[in-house]
Amino acid sequence: MRGPLLKIYKTLHTWVGLIAGMALFIAFYAGALTMFKEPLSRWATPEQWGAQHWPSENQLPDLIKQLITTQPDAAKSFTLHLQQQENTPAAFTWRQGRESTLTWYANLSGDNQLEIHSYEPSAMADLIDRLHQTAGIPGDGHHAVGVYVMGVISVLYILAIVSGLIILLPNLLKDFFSLRESKSPKRFWMDAHNLVGITSLPFHIVIGLTVIVFAFHDQIYDGLGKMAYGDRPLFARPADAPTPSQYTLEQLLPPDQLVAKVKNIAPGFIPRELMYNGVLSARASVRIAGEDPEHMLRGANRGFVSLDPYTGEITDKDYLPGHESGWVNIVITFFALHFGSYGGDPIRWIYFFLGLGGAFVFYTGNLLWVESRRRRQRPHGETVQQARNTRFMAAATVGVCWGCIAGISSAMVAGKWLYPVGTPVNDWYIWVYYSVFLASVAWAFFRGAGRAAVELLWLCSLSTLAIPITALLALLIPNSPAWFHTSADLLLVELTALVAAGIFAHMAIKTRRRLENAAPDSVWGETGYTKKVNPEKGFSANPESPAVT
């Protein structure tokens, strides 16, 4: 019974892994970066917005009244930021409807009046988040097309996880934690693939299942609505109050009193933004978003609580960290386990490395498939050619994986230098990413997997190194178009990029050295870098035949 079953699950693991692998690599690499979306968004914001007059707490009530009476869009909805940050140009921001990305902001002018400007927030961090959610697959709808594609990919991903586990089960104790470098390079990579896969198994199961929900929750709600709930509404909606607001703007509670009401019941909650909605209507509400490192959060880095801005009555604490009721409390866990939004920065770094580890598992998985399909050279035979599909897969894997990394780094750098050129910088991010990504994939097919792996690793290293170099130049050159934020956590962006550039360079050198010793009968032996033939193999390469085909 066991043998045939293992064979079936091995085949399943190979094929679902192969189909899903590259999209998952992009989603995981971008996802690892998304753990630091907020600092990255601040990092990508030009510094000229820093020097604004930030209103003091006792000026806020008067400014809110001014804002609501003079700005009809803001009266519908606006956000009050409690914390001055690089990507927060002013205390008040709002948009003209949900579709518009153009954002308005109001700050204090010299004579205590509101000063109103518009700006286009940097989309760099959003681009990385979008790559994380869609793997870069274009197309929009109610959700991005890529989100649905990733939902299907995640179904394959779960099949790959379970089948991988089933294959390993019989030898789990023997193979676990063994890295057999001596036997063969393939055995070593297989052990590494298994080790990282098994140790991060719970993380992978959580990610796979949550992504299926993120993609298909609407369809599941519809199905459950029909099958179980009949005509009942699935979500309670507040009834329309028949009368307009009974309060006047004068009765609006000042922000510090609203915050105090929340602090009363949740002392650990750190409020960050107050989102006012329909202040002039009967349904006036203010939603306070904030952090709480002690509890799981519903959002990627925020929990929420809603109040009546006139009475200060708490109207919805379903998503207030630590105060979620029954079912929500369980559901929050699923969200928080995907977002890593519990435990603050240590958990974020753990998720960062789990994400990179996932990317490693998908990359090695594809290369192991290539290796296992290798056509062996027979002693004294002609130089064998590797099958077209293994060469194709090797080139695609190398191009997509390293192209994605080089593309993100290039876009981050380009955004800083091209900001003053005139074209909205947010368009540049997307163009630079896709140009570098697609060119890398084309390059990998043109040069072959072996040579392209070395060259694209150098591209990754140099484009990532350009991040801290840009910071250095911004510091040294007066009036440079690039900028350099000096907050400690943003210096970590530069430092992380520097370390990553070093790691990519190291990998490039190691890969090159490996290729020099590669057996000619593999996709890695077709580079022309081969110095000597592995003597253990017992055959010699034919010097007449071209090594590259």
Partner 1 sequence: MSELNSAAATSSVRTRKYAPVQEDWISKTLAGCILGIALAFIASSLFALIGPGGLETPNKIQFNMWIVPPIWMTIFSLVYLFRSGLRAWLWLGSFTVVGAIVLVLVRTLGGE
Residues at the interface with partner 1 (CB under 8 A): 1, 4-5, 8-9, 11-12, 155, 158-159, 161-163, 208-209, 212-213, 216-217, 220-221, 223-224, 227-230, 232, 234-236, 318, 325-328, 330-331, 334
Cα gap 96→80, rounded to integer Å: 16
Cβ burial, residue 128 (10 Å; 0-12/13-18/19+): buried
Nearer to partner 1, 232 or 531 (CB): 232
Nearer to partner 1, 224 or 472 (CB): 224
- CB of 149: closest distance to partner 1 in angstroms? 16
- CB of 163: closest distance to partner 1 in angstroms? 7
- CB of 540: closest distance to partner 1 in angstroms? 41
Nearer to partner 1, 237 or 380 (CB): 237
Record the tokens describing residue 258, joined without a space.
């609203």
- CB of 150: closest distance to partner 1 in angstroms? 13
Residue-by-residue DSSP string for 97-114: TTT---EEEEEE-TTS-E
Nearer to partner 1, 116 or 155 (CB): 155
Nearer to partner 1, 157 or 428 (CB): 157
DSSP bridge partners of 382: none
- CB of 270: closest distance to partner 1 in angstroms? 25
Put residue 309 in one of left, alpha, beta given phi > 0 → left and psi -120 to 50 → alpha: alpha
Counting every residue written for the chain, the total comes to 549
Q: For residues 192 and 179, is the Cβ–Cβ distance under 8 A?
A: yes
Record the tokens describing residue 226, joined without a space.
């029909």
One-letter identity of residue 64: I
Nearer to partner 1, 228 or 239 (CB): 228
One-letter identity of residue 61: P
- CB of 355: closest distance to partner 1 in angstroms? 21
Nearer to partner 1, 158 or 274 (CB): 158
Q: For residues 319 and 332, is the Cβ–Cβ distance under 8 A?
A: yes
Cα gap 187→519, rounded to integer Å: 15
- CB of 388: closest distance to partner 1 in angstroms? 24
- CB of 8: closest distance to partner 1 in angstroms? 5
Q: What share of the chain is helix, strand, coil (3-state, %, to 5)?
A: 60, 10, 30
Cα gap 158→5, rounded to integer Å: 18
Closest CA to 415 of 104, 84, 129, 40: 40
- CB of 9: closest distance to partner 1 in angstroms? 6
Nearer to partner 1, 212 or 320 (CB): 212
Cα gap 427→337, rounded to integer Å: 33
Nearer to partner 1, 162 or 462 (CB): 162
Closest CA to 307 of 268, 267, 252: 252
Nearer to partner 1, 168 or 395 (CB): 168
Closest CA to 20 of 133, 110, 152: 152
- CB of 208: closest distance to partner 1 in angstroms? 8
Give the torsion sign (CA, 465, 466, 469, 474).
negative
Closest CA to 321 of 276, 255, 275, 267: 267
| Residue 276 host element (H or E) | strand 270-277
- CB of 169: closest distance to partner 1 in angstroms? 12
**What backbone phi and psi angles, to 5 degrees, belong to 336?**
-65, -35
**What 3-state class would DSSP assign to 299?**
coil
Record the tokens describing residue 499, joined without a space.
């370390």
How many CB atoms sit inside 10 A of residue 238's CB?
9
Closest CA to 527 of 542, 543, 516: 516
- CB of 519: closest distance to partner 1 in angstroms? 33
Nearer to partner 1, 236 or 239 (CB): 236
Nearer to partner 1, 12 or 457 (CB): 12
